[in-house]
Amino acid sequence: VVAVVVACTAGCGVAGSAGGSSAGATDGATKAAEAPKETDKEPGEGVDVERLTKLVVQHAAQQVGPKVTKAMAVKGVLESRVRGLKDKAVQLVLDECLGTLGRVLREANAEEFMLVLNPGASGASNLPGPSILLAGVLTPVVLVLSLIIHLMQVIMVLIPTLVMCVLSIYTDWLTLPGCAVPTIFIWVWAQAALSIVLTVSHLATVVQLFQGKRTINEKLDGMKDRLVEAVADGELDVDEIRELFVILAVLLEHSLVIEDKLRRSVWRKVIGYGTMLWLVMTLWTFVLVLGWTFVPGMVAFHEAARDAPEYCGAWATVLTARLSCVLSMFFLMFNLLSISQFMSDSMVVSEDYMVGVLAWARRQDQGMLGVPVVQTLVKAFLLRGTSESLGSQIAQSRDQSQALE
């Protein structure tokens, strides 16, 4: 640009000098005599360099700007195509594999197995998806373990603690208010009340678990004829294998629906919050026992110190507090597991949590040829089929209505 400006300036100066010489020759001696004597001007004087520079830059922008815009548009198109080439190639390979598998299953008269790989089609045909089937496999184990834990909590912790609290209140009814151990009177009543609430909640959950197992057994008995018919001849052909698969899928889906109902039960929430309060009561018990009853000289229990302000005649309540410490230590791990399960169930039924986890699983699958492996495992083992349980419940209700008709 600077070179162009210099060249234009020099050309303008030369042209100005030539024009002046021609005009002087034409006018003659008259103008030469009348004109005052002036000094010679420098070449290029009087040319607006700034304006000329702006004109040159404007002209260059008008010429180059559209070409740069087109180049950027072409670059964006190429980058978008190259960026999507990987996903298209992965999708092409996946479609070819699924198409080949579909033709094989169609030739084998087992099109139902393809529905497992297509969640949309499986939902439309009432066939559970792969995540439902994987989650349903663990449902019997989860139900049995939950039943054992609830019964152990009731038999080995809650009922003994409740009995001891009731006996201590009855035994120390007259001496308990004047005990030198602070807040022990409030503690024994709070421990008894919390034991009653948790005992009722655990027993109600145990009843629900037994009802769920009975429902699964009834469903199995209702399909027993089809199962016996499928394996009666001792040899399994394609149709019999297909029938067994359908029976197994229905049972697993039914078991998962029962587990989801138990997870959403109000008694599960009562147990969760009650167990948190139980841990607070455990800390309270340790403070009373270790701070006053185990330290010599803090509290007197002998009858000879009845008139002393440090005397405590509620020996049964103190014994209950000490035994409660021992039981709480034995079942501390079970209580922590119960709280962890409650927190997990609370997050699983949360819509925001499910959306976030599934979005993370989808990003992980994009790096593995786009096959939804991580999504299936997350739905089956972390979310326990909760994201698809509504469709399972609808399918189960439809099956029941058809059976009644």
The DSSP result for 173-227, as a single string, is TTTSTT-SSTTHHHHHHHHHHHHHHHHHHHHHHHHHHHHHHHHHHHHHHHTHHHH
pTM exceeding 0.95: no
263 confidence band (pLDDT: 50, 70, 90): confident
3-state class of 345 per DSSP? helix
* Domain extent at residue 206: 129-343
239 domain residue, yes or no: yes
Do 328 and 285 contact (CB within 8 A), yes or no?
yes
pLDDT of amino acid 88: 66
Mean pLDDT, residues 161-174 taken together: 89
279 domain residue, yes or no: yes
| Whether pLDDT at 116 is above 70 | no
Do 114 and 99 contact (CB within 8 A), yes or no?
no
Number of separate domains in the chain: 1
Do 189 and 169 contact (CB within 8 A), yes or no?
yes
Amino acid 100 reads T
Q: Tell me the C-alpha to C-alpha distance, in Å, between residue 280 and each of 160, 167, 171, 336.
A: 19, 23, 26, 12
6 domain residue, yes or no: no
Give me the phi and psi of 235, to 5 degrees please.
-125, 140
pLDDT of amino acid 122: 46
Spatial separation of the C-alpha atoms in residues 86 and 150, rounded to whole Å? 52
pLDDT digit string, tens, across residues 331-363: 888 888 888 878 877 777 777 777 788 888 888
Q: Tokens representing 333?
A: 């791990």
267 domain residue, yes or no: yes
216 domain residue, yes or no: yes
Cβ neighbours for 338, distance < 8 A, ≥ 6 positions apart? 149, 153, 271, 272, 275
pLDDT of amino acid 231: 64
pLDDT of amino acid 159: 93
Which of 49-53, 233-237, 301-305 shows the lowest per-residue confidence on average (mean pLDDT)? 233-237
Spatial separation of the C-alpha atoms in residues 224 and 228, rounded to whole Å? 6
Q: Tokens representing 147?
A: 């039943």
Share of the chain above pLDDT 70, in %: 61
83 domain residue, yes or no: no
320 domain residue, yes or no: yes
pLDDT of amino acid 164: 92
Q: CB under 8 Å, gap of 24 or more: what pairs does 204-207 form? A: 204/267, 205/146, 205/150, 205/262, 205/265, 205/267, 205/268, 205/271, 206/147, 206/150, 206/151, 206/154
Cβ neighbours for 304, distance < 8 A, ≥ 6 positions apart? none
CA Rg, the chain, in Å? 44
32 domain residue, yes or no: no
